[in-house]
Every structure is written in structure tokens, then in C-alpha cells.
Amino acid sequence: MKRLPGFRDFYPEPLPDGEAWSANVRKHIFDVWHEIAEFYAFQPYDGPPLEPLSLFTAKSGQEIVGQLYNFEDKGERAVSLRPEMTPTVARMVAARERHYKKPLKWYSIPQLFRYERQQKGRLREHFQFNADIFGEADPAADAELIAMLIDLLRNFNLTAEDFVIRLSSRNAWQDFFNQNGGDESKAYDFYQAVDKLERTAPEESEKKFQALGFTLEQVRDFIDSAEPTEELQAVLDNLAARGMSDFVKIDYNVIRGLAYYTGVVYEAFDRHGKFRAIAGGGRYDQLVSLVSGGKKEIPAAGFAMGDVVLVELLKERGLMPEIPGNIEVYALVEDETKRPPTLSMVQKLREEGWCVDYPFVSMKPDKQIKRALEVGAGFTVRIEDDEFAVLNYFETKQEEKVPFGELGNRMIQIICADDSE
């Protein structure tokens, strides 16, 4: 049985030949995501992976609707696996916002499903870090999100030479569209054509724009001449105050494919333009109103970063995290009469917070040592008598008799002495 195309198995390290996705690397990525979100004072939330189909059909826009993993469930409900998190979080906020003080700063790490053509940087499932702020219309909220996006990428050791956040504004595009006689009912088609401009042949884009009453030249001139709007200037000034100006630039090629954006929008790209977007987001002040049938009006802004492009980029830059083994101590069982006291010692060490492993069944001593080396344990420990254990530190081949109760302290002393040499 093979896995479905566009889906991944995540194996533990060391990875078998031909497998690209490491469960340990994924854990590291999630750890960084959680850590930075918490530094920025965001709170975790989650929602269901399966939602009513209608949550996405009206809200996400045609591009995502064409990629939905949808079906009818046994209760004859039209349902879909979530292709993105934003409609879900908007629904959750609309339902419970009165319970919370504003602004809300929420984050989540959902697995998402899109029935896309599989290609570089695009799979049929991926994990996405989502961060959103509800209840604050000021560009200060957009700037806070962009600053967090920068810090997330910096914490994977990427620098201003590796990535840039291209900042744009749906408002600026909306003004351009209206001032040049665009038909409001076609605005989303126009945004889609702009979104695809960099990946589409010029003749094809020209045709699309002409059908909407524009020329490609007119669109290109607007992109080239674009000045930051007032809101974008506020974002730039805010980021400058944090010393983050090197990580952003105004670029009106960005408009975002999703239907709900209303103001500042942005995408993070690698500087060399080799990969698809690492992350994207923006302001979406009308979505909560849309999902609540007009009952709630709450300004919102957020972004999401996927794990697929991030790993591709880290691999290319030689920045994949080193995954150290986590086993610190390997307990040797010299002979089976010593198994019960060994289990007691293993248990005590684990309760003290040490990561300990040991052989399940009788095994030759040299095999046990080999296993301890393979798993990267720093120490072996074996029962000597009723009071003492023999501790062995691989690094210095130091061996000594230590009373049971002193094992933890002694290991810390040995590690510290070794580190300071």
C-alpha cells in the first residue's frame, strides 16, 4: 500500500533512503513557531479539521474552492477538509468574541488539505502556522504581525539576505481599479489576474486584463510607480522603529489570491525568487461580518506560514536543524538478577528529568554498549551493588562508582566540567 500522492509520511531520524520528511525536523519547526508566538503574546486556539462546505465556498474565493477536498458525509451533509484556517477562526471569533478582551492575538498550527496539482512547494496537505489579530483596525496590528513573521524566519537562521517581505495594499489596488472604470462585480477576477501576473505569459495576462477593461501596460505602470499608501507608510515606520527595515519592501505585484483581503497584504519570499511564497497574509476587516451573517463587525488581520516551502528553503541554504539524539543515559543490565534494581534506578532518573533507555531483554554486554553509542547516550550506568552504580562518561571514558542518590548531581558536574574545558 502506498501513500496518496501529495501526502507525506514523517519518519523519525535518521531518515530512511528516499524519505524527505523528518518528524524530528517537524517538531523543531513547531517548537520555534510555538515559542515565537508566545514571545509575541499570542494565545493558542484550534478548530475542527472538517467543516461545513459552505464555510469555504462563500469566503475563500474561487481558487481555493476549486481545490477543496469535499464530500458528502453519512448524514448527507456537504463537508470539506479545511483548506485554510482563516474562515474557521473568523467563525470562532464571531461566536465567542464577547467572552474576550480585545484585541485578540491568536495562533494555531493546523494541518490543511488542498487538492492541488502536486509541484515544487505545493502538496495536498501541509502544516501552517497561523497568527491573527482581531479587534484592532490600526496598521500597528499589521506591523506587529509582520514583525513576528520576520522573527519567525530569523529564528530558523534566515537573514535579510535570504528573505524579503513584499508589502502591498488591496486598498491601493481597489482605488486603481475604481479610478480606471473597473466593474465592481469583476474586481476579484482582476485581483486574480494580478496575483498570477508573475507566473503567467504576458500575452495571456494581456487578454485577461483587456477583458476587464484594462491593459497590461497600465497595470505594470501602476506596479512600477507605486508609492506606499498611508497605512503602508505607518507599517514601514513601525518596523523601522524595531530595526526591521531591511526585511521589507513595497511591491505591488503582491495582491493575494484569497477573496477576503481588504487592506495591507504581504508575502514572504526568498531573495533569489527560486521558491513559491513562504508565507502570506493581510487585513480582512469584513470576514467576521460575512461568516456571522452581518451580526458582528470586527476588524481582523493575520498571516500563515507553511512548512513545505520553509523546509525546501532551509535545505537549499544548508540551514536544516541538527537533530541531536535525546537519550542522555543508557542503563546497562549486566545480568538478569540486576533487572529489578536497574528498573528502579531508571525510574528514579526519569523522575529527576533524565532521558533514559535500557535493553528490554537479556543482551550481551558489548551489544548493550554498542546500542548506547548508536542512540548517542552521553552516559552508561549499571548497578554495582545495593548502594552504588557505575557511571561511565563516553566523552572522557571516565568511570566511577557513585551512590544511587548522587547519580543525577554527578552527571551534571561531569557535563559542566566537560563544557568548561
Residues that bind ligand HAM (CB under 6 A): 84-86, 114, 116, 122-123, 126, 128, 130, 132, 258, 277-281, 302-304, 306, 308-309
Q: How far is the CB of 117 from ligand HAM (least distance, A)?
A: 10
Which residue lies nearer to ligand HAM by CB, 235 or 329? 235
Q: Which of 6, 59, 25, 71 is nearest to 312 (CA)?
A: 25
Long-range contact pairs involving 294-299 (C-beta distance under 8 Å, separation at least 24): 295/94, 296/93, 296/94, 296/97, 298/93, 298/94, 298/97, 298/134, 298/135, 299/134, 299/135, 299/136, 299/137, 299/141
Question: Which residue lies nearer to ligand HAM by CB, 83 or 182?
Answer: 83
Q: Measured from the CB of residue 241, what is the shortest distance to ligand HAM in angstroms?
A: 24
For ligand HAM, the closer of residues 131 and 216 by Cβ is 131
Closest distance to ligand HAM from the beta carbon of 11 (Å): 19
Q: How far apart are CA 198 and CA 210, in angstroms?
A: 17
First to last CA, the chain: 53
Closest-by-Cβ residue to ligand HAM is: 306
Q: Which three cell numbers stand for residue 180?
A: 480606471
| Closest separation in Å from C-beta 105 to ligand HAM | 12
Query: Per-residue DSSP letters for 10-58?
Result: -BPSSPPTT---BHHHHHHHHHHHHHHHHHTT-EE----SEEETHHHHT
Nearer of residues 86 and 368 to ligand HAM, judged by Cβ = 86
Least spacing, CB of residue 279 vs ligand HAM, in Å: 5
Provide, rounded to whole angstroms, the least separation between the CB of residue 299 and ligand HAM: 12
- Pick 84 or 328: Cβ nearer ligand HAM: 84
Query: Locate cell 486584463: which residue?
Result: 209
Cβ proximity of 60 and 87 under 8 Å: yes
Q: Where are the alpha helices (DSSP H) in 155-186?
A: 170-179
Residue with Cβ nearer ligand HAM (126 or 382): 126
